[in-house]
Structure 1
Amino acid sequence: MKRYPSIMSLRAFEALSRLGSVSSAANELSLTRSAVSHQINMLEEVVGFSLTQREGRGIALTNKGSIYASEAKRALAILQEASRDNRGEEVAGKLSISCAPGLANYWLCHHLSKFSKQYPKLSLHISSPEVPDDTSNDNIDLFIAYGNGNWPDKYVRQLITIRLFPVCSPRFLKEIGGLGPPSSLIKMPLMHLVNHTDWRVWLAANGISNTQLEGGTVFSDANFVQSAAIAGQGIAIGDNMVSGNALAKGLLIRPFEKSIKSPRAYYLVASSEKVERQEIQVFIEWLESMIADAQAKYDSY
């Protein structure tokens, strides 16, 4: 499966390679230092080798990183030249986006006005699939899908790395009188998304393996899981994006600090023909910029 680096990741790495520090790159791109570091980490996952290394108190490029920096600058220069060629054309038309429901409801729908102000003549049509990794609708231009990255013969680019951790409402924690060690969760009302996998993986990471999870409620949609958790119905597995806003507002809390990297992530998926369209490219660039700031913010909760 071919994976493509994001424009935002390339921009972050190019700025770092040219300016010599994460802070300088962050200032130039109007991002946080955490957001720049996250973008470079994502780029290293795509290319499959280390681009940077520690050097004293600072950071330096590896040998492969120096070579890749030249290629990144060349690629960005080509994209910039293409933008100049189209500078007199205002982006217009219709763009159909399919987004996994949890991310759509708890993040994307809160930021769409910013895109509309930037591209007022481009009409966005947002929908959600029944299954988060479904990319089969031919009427959709771009999918923001949640899955394992395996969409053969498609343009696939990782957008967000997800970390999983238990969440519950403060009221629920108070009503049960607090929690003991992670093993005490087995006797609690656990809530699940689609199946029991996320809970089993998190518990195993905390030394509780071969657990027979019985009872609880299994939901088909991340919206249902989060709403039930906020309403104090039990303990769910949350993540740094879908749960980020609720954690920031105090609607949810994390009873345990331990988090694990999800085996799934959010990906941009499209046909190789459609992805070249200007309206898709401007939406991807806007989306990656917004996600970089959001992940840096929510990862701290």
Structure 2
Amino acid sequence: MKRYPSTTALRAFEAIARLGSVSAAAQELSLTRSAVSHQLNLLEDLLGFPLTQKDGRGLTLTYQGKHYADEAKKVLTILLEASRANDGEEVTGELMVSCAPGLANYWLCHKLSAFTQKYPKVSLHIVSPSFPGDISNDDVDLFITYGNGNWPEKYVKQLMTIRLFPVCSPHFFHQQGGLGHPSNLVKMPLLHLMGQTDWRVWLAANGVSNIQLEGGVVFSDANFVQSAAIAGQGIAIGDNMVSGDALAKGLLIRPFEKSIESPRAYYLVTSPEKIERKEVFSFVEWLESLLSDAQSRYDKQ
């Protein structure tokens, strides 16, 4: 008779798959490294196939392991939701979320009524970080931040793949008489976010490399960059998250179809302890569902 895997083993494997290491999984689950390894071995013995394989000094998932990780996550989510539905407790309390200003202004603040309708007894506070990428505020329960995903000892989850592409206002586009070839952009007012990297990478992907970018305006937040682009002050690098609403309303256009995947992304960051709180988990679950729909729509474009 086939035995079912234990939830402890599934949680251990899901954490390994998500975090990329046994050590990180052990830290998140408050278990020893050997205990997590033991649970992984038990699960592999039960299934009859390897879930992970050594990759240098670390490990990666096997082909079967990748598929099983997706299924394990679904099972754990179902079990968690079943326990929440049966515990008779409504989601209440205060929840403080720190969000990058650009994402908050152009995306998150347009969606919040759906959360408050679903969880009317949660007092939600939205704040902005002291500086880009800051996750040091101990009063914040959950950070939605932009970066490379490297926050040791934290619960970290990527929200959505970010695609980068030039955007400008229709007025600016027509004022220039069109933009022609991407090489023409180096002579036009470019708007930058925290440096020239995004523009250099996009231009290189479009056959424009080894160029000297001179002038332009550098902003500290996507909020400022996009506001300047909408006001017709130049051409910015937009993305499918921050720029989506402005593109849909015709405030911005994409003068070139070519997009590139950003080396950075928006992430959810919190502590392993806080993610277990009902109000935090509920917001994360709501946000992931919202973004899953947004990703699906974007992939079809």
Q: Under TM normalisation by the shorter chain, which class is it?
A: 0.7 to 0.9
Tell me which residue corresponds to 1:38: none
CA distance in 2, matches of 1:122, 1:197: 40
Tell me which residue corresponds to 1:82: 83
Higher mean Cα deviation, 130-139 or 236-245? 130-139
Contact kept in structure 2, 1:99 and 1:144, CA below 8 Å: yes
CA distance in 2, matches of 1:264, 1:98: 18
Q: If you compute each CA radius of gyration, which structure gives the higher value, 1 or 2?
A: 2
Gaps of 5+ in 1: 6-46, 51-61
Deviation at 1:136, TM superposition (A): 0.9
Deviation at 1:204, TM superposition (A): 1.2
CA distance in 1, matches of 2:61, 2:211: 36
CA distance in 1, matches of 2:260, 2:282: 32
CA distance in 2, matches of 1:48, 1:104: 34
TM-score normalised by the chain length of structure 1: 0.77
CA distance in 1, matches of 2:104, 2:225: 14
Deviation at 1:134, TM superposition (A): 1.3
CA distance in 1, matches of 2:150, 2:67: 30
Contact kept in structure 1, 2:199 and 2:237, CA below 8 Å: yes
Paired residue type of 1:4: R
CA distance in 2, matches of 1:268, 1:300: 25
Paired residue type of 1:218: V
Tell me which residue corresponds to 2:186: 186
Deviation at 1:223, TM superposition (A): 1.1
Tell me which residue corresponds to 1:206: 206
Aligned ranges 1:231-242 → 2 under 5 Å: 231-242=231-242
Tell me which residue corresponds to 1:255: 255
Q: Secondary structure of the equivalent of 2:264?
A: strand
Deviation at 1:220, TM superposition (A): 1.2
Q: Secondary structure of the equivalent of 1:250?
A: coil
Q: Secondary structure of the equivalent of 2:284?
A: helix
Q: Aligned pair 1:288/2:280, yes or no?
A: no
Contact kept in structure 1, 2:165 and 2:258, CA below 8 Å: yes
Deviation at 1:224, TM superposition (A): 1.1
Contact kept in structure 2, 1:240 and 1:299, CA below 8 Å: no
Residue 299 to residue 77, structure 1, CA distance change in 2 (3 Å): closer
Q: Secondary structure of the equivalent of 1:4?
A: helix
Deviation at 1:66, TM superposition (A): 5.3
Question: Deviation string for 1:238-262 (max 9, x for gaps)?
Answer: 0001000111111111111110000
Question: Deviation string for 1:93-135 (max 9, x for gaps)?
Answer: 1000001111100011011111111111100010111433211
CA distance in 2, matches of 1:131, 1:2: 31
Q: Secondary structure of the equivalent of 1:288?
A: helix
CA distance in 2, matches of 1:154, 1:3: 15
CA distance in 2, matches of 1:109, 1:73: 29
User: Which has the higher relative contact order, 1 or 2, with Cα contacts under 8 A spaced 6 or more apart?
Assistant: 1
Contact kept in structure 2, 1:3 and 1:155, CA below 8 Å: no
Q: Aligned pair 1:4/2:18, yes or no?
A: yes
Residue 237 to residue 130, structure 1, CA distance change in 2 (3 Å): farther
Contact kept in structure 2, 1:2 and 1:155, CA below 8 Å: no
CA distance in 2, matches of 1:253, 1:300: 18
Deviation at 1:65, TM superposition (A): 5.3
CA distance in 2, matches of 1:300, 1:288: 18
Residue 70 to residue 178, structure 1, CA distance change in 2 (3 Å): closer
Cα RMSD (Å): 2.2
Contact kept in structure 2, 1:162 and 1:265, CA below 8 Å: yes
CA distance in 2, matches of 1:99, 1:89: 28
Paired residue type of 2:85: R
Tell me which residue corresponds to 1:115: 115
CA distance in 2, matches of 1:168, 1:248: 13
Contact kept in structure 2, 1:3 and 1:156, CA below 8 Å: no
Deviation at 1:179, TM superposition (A): 1.2
Q: Which runs of 4+ in 1 moved over 2 A?
A: 1-5, 47-50, 62-74, 294-301
Contact kept in structure 2, 1:241 and 1:295, CA below 8 Å: no
Tell me which residue corresponds to 2:272: 272
Contact kept in structure 2, 1:3 and 1:158, CA below 8 Å: no
Contact kept in structure 1, 2:17 and 2:69, CA below 8 Å: no
Q: Secondary structure of the equivalent of 2:18?
A: coil
Paired residue type of 2:152: P
